[in-house]
Amino acid sequence: MTAPPDIEQHTDLSPSGSLLGNFRKELAQHAPFAQMTKADLDYFLAQARQRYYAPEEILIEPASGRVTQLFYIRRGAVTGTRGLAGPMGDVFEYEAGDLLPLSAAMAGRPVTAVYHASADTFVLALPVLAMQTLAQQSPVFADFLNQHANQLLALSRQALLASYATQAMTEQHLEKPLEAWLQRRPVSCPPETPLREALQTMHQARIGAMLVTDPAGQLLGILTRFDILGRVTLPQVPLDAPIAQVMTQPVLSLTTAHTAEDAALLMSRHGMRHVPITRHGVAVGMVSERDLFAMQKQSLKSVSTTLRAATDTDMLKQAAEGIRRLAHSLLGQGVQARQLTAMISHLNDVLTEKLLALKAEEHSIDMSRLCWLALGSEGRDEQTIATDQDNALILPNDTTGAQREKILAFAHDVNLVLDACGYPLCRGGVMAGEPACCLTRDEWRARFEQWIRQGTPEDLLNASIYFDFRHLAGDATLAHSLRQEVVQAAQQTPRFLKQMALNALTRGVALNWRGAIDTDANGTLDLKLQGAAIFVDVARIYSLAHGLAQTNTRQRLEAAGQHMALAENEYGAWVSGFEFLQMLRLRIQLEGGAALEQPNRLLVASLNDIDRRILRETLRVARQLQQRLQLDYQR
């Protein structure tokens, strides 16, 4: 193909004065130019030369010798190929806005890949000497050259903060309707309730006010902790007297359509500390002065305190919504994926522990003799919002058949309540309420030994989730001793590790043959199956191969990288890539809600320029990680 008539192929052309303004606007759409001064942009444009490359034409290759210029892609695309052709080679694509080859230009060495145009491609070629001068006068440009990946991640977090800032302010604003503030159903009693009973309920439920209602739920009165001194203690009202004798009436209340600001004004005007909330005349909630301050500053401690204070499963269901609200708030504050998924997993643990305590008492189960296991993402402490439940139980070896049936009924009840709290039942049946996941200590050991020694590829594919088990409640020694045996057996069985590796290699990275992001017909990809799961699989295999006890993916990758004597930046790239995918998953789920039919499917076109580039580089890291696994085990 010949060059377009307005530009000669292979000829260096300086941009005309009329083009400088357009070029400057074009550059300002991409990092690092968007953060650079006008003077530095003009220097780049003055020193750069326009070039055109036809499809398949080589820009630079190892035979070209030491790199003498940096290429900025204006239009088109460039494909780089390193190593052998085929699945063992490394193919990657650069698109408009990219700079290449950064590392070789910085080091003053030849490139290690062949770069060729994959379409009609227009570039600005900047001499290396000019690149060095620009780096001296522009700290932004210098930082970008020295810390390319870190700079992109930092810019991504800035963009995320900016996009969530307005939304976060709106959600924390007092103009939000009271309907959205409802966290749990109000505690109420009929007017004939003895004072002693009402006060005991208030104390046990840790509430500051008791609503008095008729059988239909209509408000009749209210008694607060601050009323007790003046209405009960000092007048020496008998505790057998009905609450109707001392309650405040009529009751000032608001509806769900009112705002938190309305509640604050009502409290201020009338010296109140509690405002009942009604819907169609029926009491459905209560907002307190303390609540208004807590709503403005939700914290991990406040959510965990609410969970631990729950006295029934309905309160747990409502408290579970607080986990999602907090996650949304923290995402908008720029909290990173590692901390956010760990926080979500921790709060899910707190919820499950509380539920287990409630249900164990209800079913007369002694949890000190059992061990409740968290599996999968919860076992790895990296749950996102849209997550089903994966759990199991270890029973004592002397458990009788009758005891097992009783424990199964208890566990099944727990599974159902977790489902009602927003953690769907596992479609694969990996739940403690299923007989296959409620086994004695010896039965679990035999099951893991069968998987490790004799398991078929299909068995291991389905069993991989079990190898991430973690003690959550009950007798921790049952889980710890089992973990030691499983890790030791896996490390000593090369066939098992190879089969796990071959299974992991069946997952396809979302990159096409040119190294560009590959999507389906709708322009989407599955961030979990085509991205994050690859890092999880490889981390699990290498941790078992090196006898490591960790279950968390980040910790596994770091520990495995150190045991394999790899450079820190290599296994650090694994960790950064995994956490970026986790962050994208969280954003999809929090923006669209946990009820999304496809909570891990990303519309690539919805990404900004920076995040799209990071995604492409992250998928390249995933593919390189698979290539390492292939070299280690597919021989």
The terminus-to-terminus CA distance of the chain in angstroms comes to: 43
The whole-number pLDDT of residue 298 equals: 52
- What are φ and ψ of residue 7, in 5° steps? -150, 135
* Contact (CB, 8 A) for 273 and 226: yes
CA distance 62 to 113: 6
**Where in the chain are the domains?**
17-146, 178-297, 314-476, 501-633
The whole-number pLDDT of residue 59 equals: 95
CA distances from 562 to 358, 377, 541, 552, 555 (A): 43, 23, 15, 15, 11
* Contact (CB, 8 A) for 316 and 421: yes
CA distance 549 to 487: 7
Peptide bond into 238 cis (omega under 30): no
274: left (phi over 0), alpha (psi -120 to 50) or beta: beta
Q: Dihedral (C-alpha) 294, 298, 303, 304: value to the nearest 10 degrees?
A: -100
CA distance 553 to 559: 10
CA distance 584 to 335: 13
What is the secondary structure of 251-267 as a DSSP string? PP-EETTSBHHHHHHHH
* Contact (CB, 8 A) for 557 and 575: yes
What's 314-476's CATH class?
alpha beta
The whole-number pLDDT of residue 137 equals: 92
- What are φ and ψ of residue 415, in 5° steps? -60, -40
Which fold, 17-146?
A: Jelly Rolls (2.60.120)
Q: Which ranges of 173-223 would DSSP assign to H, the alpha helix?
A: 195-205
Helix 337-363 with 300-309: angle, nearest 10 deg: 10
CA distance 546 to 487: 9
Sign of CA dihedral 381, 385, 386, 391: positive
CA distance 409 to 118: 61
In a 13 Å sphere around the CA of 84, the CA atoms on its Cβ side amount to: 4
Buried residues in 166-200 as b, exposed as e (16+ CB within 10 A): eebeebeeeeeebeebbbbebbbbeeebebeebbe
Beta strand 49-53 pairing with 524-526: unpaired
CA distances from 76 to 40, 51, 119, 124, 385 (A): 25, 12, 5, 12, 38
Residue 580 is encoded by which pair of tokens?
């970026």
- What are φ and ψ of residue 156, in 5° steps? -65, -45
Which fold, 501-633?
A: Four Helix Bundle (Hemerythrin (Met), subunit A) (1.20.120)
- What are φ and ψ of residue 511, in 5° steps? -130, 140
Sign of CA dihedral 615, 617, 622, 627: positive
The whole-number pLDDT of residue 373 equals: 96
CA distances from 58 to 75, 121, 236 (A): 16, 11, 95
Exposed/middle/buried for residue 396 (C-beta within 10 Å: 0-12, 13-18, 19+) = middle
Residue type, 85: A
The whole-number pLDDT of residue 84 equals: 44
CA distances from 417 to 24, 258, 397, 461, 618 (A): 58, 32, 28, 28, 37
Domains 178-297 and 501-633 share a fold: no
pLDDT tens digit string along 424-440? Answer: 999 889 999 999 999 99
CA distance 151 to 163: 18
Tell me which residue of 371, 604, 570, 394 sits closest to 472, measured CA to CA: 371
Residue 91, beta-bridge partner list: 81
Q: Which residues in 61-173 belong to E strands, given as ranges?
A: 69-75, 77-82, 90-95, 99-100, 114-117, 121-127
pTM exceeding the 0.75 threshold for the entire prediction: no
Largest CA distance in the chain: 101
| CATH architecture observed for domain 178-297 | Roll (3.10)
Which residue's structure tokens are 């919504």?
A: 321
The whole-number pLDDT of residue 5 equals: 40
Residue 142 is encoded by which pair of tokens?
């210098």
pLDDT tens digit string along 395-452? Answer: 999 999 999 999 999 999 999 999 999 899 998 899 999 999 999 999 999 999 999 9
The whole-number pLDDT of residue 291 equals: 73
How many Cβ atoms are within 10 Å of 472's Cβ, its own excluded?
A: 21
Residue type, 294: A
CA distance 162 to 166: 8
The residue ranges of the chain whose pLDDT is under 70 are: 1-19, 83-90, 146-175, 268-269, 292-301, 332-335, 593-596, 635
